[in-house]
Amino acid sequence: MKNLSQADLFSLFGSDPKTLVRSNDPDTSQAAAASVNSTQLEQMVYEAICTYPEGCISDQLLDRFKGFPYSSITARYRALLDKGFIEDTGERRKGRSNKNQRVMKKLEPKQPE
């Protein structure tokens, strides 16, 4: 396996709007999903996670993206996990609410040779 180039990596961001909603969701939800720039959001969240070599929790990311709704940031984790860009380390840290939050960390994306 070889590491992906930055250009290759960034071309993999973004999710099909159909994967952001259920097929039986109302048309308003379908329209909202189509309007989300998941490419930009996934890239932003990934780049932020990369700045925490020891991993980070949601509270740290939400502090960085104060102008964005909670759900715009936290909804990106699933796609980044599924694509192998980040990992849930299994570690938990207390957040502001005094509840445990998972620690997410950058993975080195690989591709088959």
Tens-digit pLDDT profile for residues 8-61: 554 688 776 666 656 777 777 666 666 567 788 999 999 999 999 999 999 999
What pLDDT does residue 81 have?
94
What pLDDT does residue 73 have?
94
For residue 62, the domain's CATH number is 1.10.10
Residue of 25, 31, 5, 28 lying closest to 110 (CA atoms): 5
Domain count within the chain: 1
Residue 112 has pLDDT above 90, yes or no: no
List, in order, residues 6 or more apart from 25 with CB less than 8 Å away: none
Q: Residue 3 in contact with residue 112, Cβ under 8 Å?
A: no
Residue 88 has pLDDT above 80, yes or no: yes
Domain hosting residue 92, numbered range? 2-111
